[in-house]
Amino acid sequence: MPLVLLVTLPSLLFAQTAKIKIDIQRTIGEIDPKKKRSFITIMKMKTINIILLFFLSIVGANAEDGHQLWLRNKKALPVTVVCSKNSPTLSIARQELQQGWQGKAGASVVLTIKNDKAIKGDGFRLSAVGITADTELGILYGVYELLRRQQTGETVNDEIVNPSYEIRILNHWDNLNGSIERGYAGPSIFWRKENPFVVTDSDRVIWRQYARANASIGINSAVLNNVNASQLILSADYLTRVKAIAEILRPYGVKTYLSIKFTSPALLGGLKTSDPMDPEVINWWRVKAKEIYSLIPDFGGFLVKASSEGQPGPQDYGRTHADGANMLADALKPYGGIIMWRAFVYSPNDKDRAKQAYNEFVPLDGKFRDNVIIQVKNGPIDFQPREPFSPLFGAMKKTPVMPEFQITQEYLGHSKHLVFLSTMWEECLQSDTYQQGKGSTVSRCTDGSIYPQKHTAIAGVANIGLDTNWCGHDFAQANWYAFGRLAWNNQLKSEQIAHEWIRMTFYADSLQSNNENVAADWNQNFLIPIKQMMLDSREAAVNYMMPLGLHHIFSMMQDHYGPGPWFAPPRMRPDWTPPYYHQADSNGIGFDRTKKGTDAVEQYHDPLASAFNDVSTCPEIYLLWFHHLAWNYKMKSGKSLWDEICYHYDRGVQQVRGFQKTWDKVKPYVDKERFTNVQRKLRTQTINAVVWKDACLLYFQQFSRMPIPDDIERPVNNLDDIIANDMTRRRPTN
Ligand code: GCV
């Protein structure tokens, strides 16, 4: 805050308060005595508000660049930490308690490592006086939980807290030259083009901060490089750098994994083939595994994108996914390593891309080694704003399947749009597959509750880069946070996650007084509206991008940012063009995946298969995913399908405008930097939402030939202009 304001504000405040006092005295003499009491109350409130505003203006003036994420420095109270052991992890635990204690001043916390049958894996027993766990990492997670509860005002009862998944992993799509595929927050924190093998102090600082942030939300693993992998990652120089990274991540419990290229034996090792059945290839991987584990004894394993989107794989040698995965699994087995084999496969020849992963993988159920997990994207296509869950989650009985969520907003406005993804992941995790009858949710099918699984895991494609605030958008940090929290507890509600994140990210140190008015005011005027904005934000994006089950109608298939339902360059493979997905023509719109169409519904268990198949029971959120319907099809609301589409696009625009208003109102409660950054991004988002609406309505109107309902804002863009100038150029830079 400028010095001049610091000096003048108190005197202004004093003058204003004194004036109010005089006003009160003057006025109450003149008014009806019955009204005096309420009048005095109002005037007192006015005084309190002014004091609060003054207070908040000081708070708001603190510089915040977002780098501290949800771990912002707090004024810690004194605490005594009792722990009979010592280790790098335990000293982090101790230090975190001492630097962040918000409980009773002078309290003692006892950290105890001892076996307890009720505690699983990284879990712990929490009480007001201490934490017990089987492992040091359990202690560390318990410490973060305790501090979080203190900060968010949650109670601490005597309870066991166990994680839902054994492996809670971030996938970094970071290339070895420092760029990030689908990254919108600057270059990689792990790799760079210049001096790639020099490990600097600032590398170590950022890796440590990264590890701490992950540990604080329970993330315990990271794949350091892109699934579109270079064979070079397995070369000696890169492995030495991986070792350096692993050493920093280790005390925080973050295990290192790598993505590998299936043809590394040929490309890096100089072998004639990379056929997984070839003895030399098998041996090459064994030797490589030995080399890796000699450098990184706790190395986690490999993530593999094979026979997918042009990446080489076992099918190039006439082998199956199981042949490829098992060969690698055998190489890592002696060291306890794991193979995460991705099921993201589709070919241009298939009539329906949504069916392919299931068709390829279900026949292989039971054929994988027990250290292989199949990694499945939440939906059957590709991280769209809304998809039904992938039917593979309800299909495999003898092979563990792990969900892959996308934290980076490839299809949700990059780091320009405010979209809280927790609600989308919650929707997926809570979807019922009916695999073992009612209640077989995706969460239960993947966390070992339904079938015993040797390993359980969940992955999130990271949104992290070298940007000061890590994620590009201040609110995109909430998605990293939410992924960690859901990976730890897949039954959490987005409302709670948003609440925690806002409380930890925005509640300023200087607000941490015992003044109830300050806290109540902050809750009422900041926490509640901002939480609501976050909870509504994903649905808003669905509304202005692709409502009612529409999907993959983006422009420039390499960019996936703006609208492009028209995009179909000659000779492009059809499943890389939006018309393949929306199927709009003069008869109607939508992809017919019913029994009369591609029969994708058949990949779901009943009663879902029948519900999706029947237009009258298909949830409207998935309507055009499963059905091709006439433009005048009558919706449940009584409106025609065309009108309903129009109203959804319009609602999306209005929702984002509402977010702008919400944000502008909370200005006194936010530091200037973050306020301005978010305000600018919301402006961009609104401009973009209008373009999405205009583009889609004007394009589809060519087929529907129906008017845009009167009460909806008229388009402000012309379709030919939008097509000619893609949105990347029309959005302001921020
Ligand atoms: C890493 C989509 C993305 C690609 C990504 C791929 C995948 O197609 O556009 O960038 O590649 O998914 O998940 O492998």
Which residues, including other chains, have CB under 8 Å from residue 19's CB and lie 6 or more apart?
A: none
The pLDDT of residue 76 is 93
| Residue with CA closest to ligand 1 atom 11 | 228
**The predicted structure's pLDDT at residue 411:** 97
* Segment among 56-60, 204-208, 301-305, 455-459 with least mean pLDDT: 56-60
Sequence-distant (6+) residues with CB within 8 A of 136 are 85, 87, 89, 90, 93, 113
**Cα 474 from Cα 70, distance rounded (Å):** 11
Among 173, 387, 412, 557, the mutation site with the greatest number of ligand 1 atoms within 8 A of its Cβ is 173
Q: How far apart are CA 50 and CA 650, in angstroms?
A: 38
Q: Does ligand 1 have an atom closer than 6 angstroms to the CB of 126?
A: no
Q: Is the CB of 173 under 6 A from ligand 1?
A: yes
Percent of the chain with pLDDT over 70: 89
Q: How confident is the model at residue 514 (pLDDT cuts 50, 70, 90)?
A: low
Which pLDDT does position 1 carry in this prediction?
A: 37
pLDDT of residue 518: 87
| CB of 227 sitting under 6 A from ligand 1 | yes
For position 630, what pLDDT does the model report?
Answer: 98
Residue with tokens 């609301």: 637
The ligand 1 atom at the shortest distance from the C-alpha of residue 406 is: 13
Q: Do the beta carbons of residue 549 and residue 719 sit within 8 Å?
A: no
How far does residue 173's CA lie from ligand 1's centre (Å)? 9
The mean pLDDT of 512-519, rounded to a whole number, is: 76
Instruction: Evaluate: CB of 353 within 6 angstroms of ligand 1.
Output: no
> Which DSSP category does 589 fall into?
B
| Angle subtended at Cα 105 by Cα 101 and Cα 109, rounded to the nearest 5 degrees | 60
Q: How crowded is the C-beta side of 47, counted as CA atoms within 13 Å?
A: 16
Mutational test site, ligand 1, from 170, 309, 411, 558, max ligand atoms within 8 Å of CB:
309
Task: Give the mean pLDDT of 680-707.
Answer: 98
**Ligand 1 pocket test: which of 171, 172, 179, 182 has the largest number of ligand atoms within 8 Å of its C-beta?**
182
Residue 132 pairs in a beta bridge with 112, 125
* CA-nearest residue, atom 2 of ligand 1: 382
Give the strands of the sheet with 79-83, arranged side by side. 79-83, 107-113, 130-133, 124-127, 159-161
pLDDT at 24: 38
Q: Is 483 in the pocket of ligand 1 (CB under 6 A)?
A: no
Q: Average pLDDT for residues 456-478, to the nearest whole number?
A: 98
How far does Cα 433 stand from its chain's mean position? 22
Shortest-distance Cα residue to atom 8 of ligand 1: 382
Q: How confident is the model at residue 472, as a pLDDT?
A: 98
CA of 459 to the centre of ligand 1 (A): 14
Condensed to tens digits (0 to 9), the pLDDT of residues 111-122 reads 999 999 999 999
| Catalytic residue set | 309, 382, 410
pLDDT at 562 over 60: yes
Mean pLDDT of the chain: 91
pLDDT at 64: 86
Residue 429 CB partners (closer than 8 Å, separation 6+): 403, 441, 442, 443, 486, 490
Q: How far is the CA of 31 from the centre of ligand 1 (A)?
A: 71
Quote the pLDDT of residue 606.
97
Q: What is the pLDDT of residue 532?
A: 98
* pLDDT reported for residue 62: 52
Task: Give yes or no for residue 305 CB within 6 A of ligand 1.
Answer: yes
How remote is the CA of residue 153 from the centroid of ligand 1, in Å?
Answer: 40
Residue 22 has pLDDT above 60, yes or no: no
- Nearest atom, ligand 1, residue 377 CA: 13
* Number of the ligand 1 atom closest to the C-alpha atom of 308: 14
Tokens for 443? Answer: 């969460």
Q: Is the CB of 181 under 6 A from ligand 1?
A: yes
pLDDT for res 204: 98
552 lines ligand 1 (CB under 6 A): no
Q: How far is the CA of 480 from the centre of ligand 1 (A)?
A: 19
Ligand 1 in reach of 344 Cβ (< 6 A): yes
Average pLDDT for 283-296: 98
Q: What percentage of the chain exceeds 90 in pLDDT?
A: 84
- In this prediction, residue 12 has a pLDDT band, given cuts at 50, 70 and 90, of very low
Protein residue with its CA nearest to atom 13 in ligand 1: 344
Question: Which of 172, 228, 260 has the most ligand 1 atoms within 8 A of CB, as the residue to mutate?
Answer: 228
pLDDT at 272: 98
How many angstroms is it from 383 CA to the middle of ligand 1?
9
Which atom of ligand 1 has the smallest separation from the CA of 311?
A: 14
Distance from the CA of 342 to the center of ligand 1, in angstroms?
Answer: 11
Atom of ligand 1 nearest to the CA of 558: 9
SS3 per residue for 621-690: HHHHHHCCECCCCECCCCCEHHHHHHHHHHHHHHHHHHHHHHHHHCHHHCCHHHHHHHHHHHHHHHHHHH
- Spacing, Cα 179 to ligand 1 middle (Å): 15
- Cα–ligand 1 centroid distance for 200 (angstroms): 31
Give the Cα separation of 724 and 734 in Å (integer): 22
Looking at per-residue pLDDT, the higher value among 350 and 661 belongs to 661
pLDDT of residue 61: 42
Q: Which two tokens stand for residue 139?
A: 């202690």
CA of 305 to the centre of ligand 1 (A): 10
Quick one: average pLDDT of 200-205? 98
pLDDT score for 18: 40
- Cα–Cα distance list, 288 to 190, 235, 268, 302, 519 (Å): 21, 9, 11, 12, 57
pLDDT at 14: 42
Among 145-159, 185-199, 391-405, 626-640, the range scoring the smallest mean pLDDT is: 145-159
**pLDDT at residue number 509:** 65
User: Is residue 382 within 6 Å of ligand 1 at its C-beta?
Assistant: yes
Q: From the CB of 228, is ligand 1 less than 6 Å away?
A: yes
pLDDT in tens, 345-386: 988 878 999 999 999 999 999 999 999 999 999 999 999 999
What is residue 24's DSSP assignment?
Answer: H
What is the arithmetic mean of pLDDT over 65-69? 95
Q: Is 627 in the pocket of ligand 1 (CB under 6 A)?
A: no
CA of 382 to the centre of ligand 1 (A): 8
pLDDT at 8: 40
Band of residue 631 on the pLDDT scale cut at 50, 70, 90: very high
Name the pLDDT band for 19 (thresholds 50, 70, 90): very low
Q: Which of 307, 311, 344 to mutate to test the pocket of ligand 1 (most atoms within 8 A of CB)?
A: 344
Q: pLDDT band for position 728 (50/70/90)? A: low
* Confidence tier at 58 by pLDDT (50, 70, 90): very low
Q: What pLDDT, on the 0 to 100 scale, is given for residue 519?
A: 87
Indicate whether residue 182 lines ligand 1 (CB < 6 A).
Answer: yes
